[in-house]
Amino acid sequence: MTLFRFLRSLWVAVVLLLTACANQPPERADNICHIFEEYPRWYDHARRAEQRWGTPIPVQIAFVHQESGFRHNVRPPREYRFGFIPRRRPSSAYGYAQAITPAWSDYQEATGRHNARRTNMAHALDFIGWYNDVSHRRLGIPPYDAERLYLAYHEGHTGYARGAYRSKPQVQRVAQRVNERAQRYSAQLEECERRFRCRRFYQFWPFCR
């Protein structure tokens, strides 16, 4: 029993250590090149989502920056009654993409990815790509128009179609910031993308994937 307990404790410690290391936000979130240098697999995930759904890599990463600050398990803060009695959270948003539960369920049903998790960056980026593709097809928003895509993402497709965002200047300002960040990310990525597309020993420019 002593050996079993030791091995179990060791396994739990290793899992917790790996989880803590894997889920730290990037140190330089203002620069997409530094983000991908720290987490090169994120480039692979974003590239696949771009190829599948059409949303450019910088737009995807700008969405994650705004929604969660690259924190994997963040939720909206609770409200408190009388300053100390916790109430329900204002929404079911969760994970890197801050996807609400109904939208995530729609994504799983539409794509068949029933095991997808909101705390997984690959799944979160694929969700963003899928949602923006629906915005493109249903609302006519171009895949590169980060500002309008974010308005549809925040307000929902029905809310965007009704123009609900027009009475929400704060939401409009956030959408503008997302667009500005996506543009900065795009300019930065032009300077460094080759490194991430051709980082394996068997790849060489311009024949990388």
Q: Where residue 20 falls among pLDDT bands split at 50, 70, 90? A: very low
Bridge partners (DSSP) of residue 80 are 86
Is the pLDDT at 14 greater than 50? The verdict is no
Q: pLDDT grade, residue 90 (50/70/90)?
A: low
Quote the pLDDT of residue 46.
98
Question: Which pTM does this prediction carry?
Answer: 0.83
Find, among 121, 124, 144, 123, the residue nearest to 133 by Cα.
144
Question: Which pLDDT value is given to residue 57?
Answer: 99
Question: Residue 3: exposed, middle, or buried by beta-carbon count in 10 A (0-12, 13-18, 19+)?
Answer: exposed
Residue 94 and residue 119: Cα distance in Å, rounded? 8
Residue 9's pLDDT is 57
What lies within 8 Å, CB to CB, of 136 at 6+ separation is: 54, 142, 143, 149
pLDDT at 199 over 70: no
In DSSP notation, the chain reads -HHHHHHHHHHHHHHHHHHHHHTPPPS-TT-HHHHHHH-HHHHHHHHHHHHHH---HHHHHHHHHHHHTT-TT--PPPPEETTTEE---S---BTTTTB-HHHHHHHHHHH--TT--TT-HHHHHHHHHHHHHHHHHHH---TT-HHHHHHHHHHHHHHHHHTGGGG-HHHHHHHHHHHHHHHHHHHHHHHHHHHHHT-STT--TTS--
Closest Cα partner for 132 from 67, 38, 39, 191? 67
Tokens standing for residue 47: 């590239």
Which residue did the predictor score with more confidence, 55 or 23? 55
Task: Identify the residue with better confidence: 89 or 47.
Answer: 47
Instruction: Output the six-digit token pair for 64.
Output: 């994650």
Say if residue 192's pLDDT is above 90: yes
**What pLDDT sits at residue 197?**
85
Q: Average pLDDT in the 109-122 region?
A: 98
pLDDT, tens only, 140-182: 999 999 999 999 999 999 999 999 999 999 999 999 999 999 9
**Can you give the pLDDT at residue 52?**
98
Q: Is the pLDDT of residue 83 over 60?
A: no
The amino acid occupying position 57 is: I
Mean pLDDT, range 96-108, rounded to an integer: 98
- Mean pLDDT score across all residues of the chain: 87
Q: How confident is the model at residue 77 (pLDDT cuts 50, 70, 90)?
A: low
Say whether pLDDT at 10 is over 60: no
Say how far apart CA 169 and CA 32 lie, in whole Å: 28
What average pLDDT does range 43-51 have in this prediction? 98
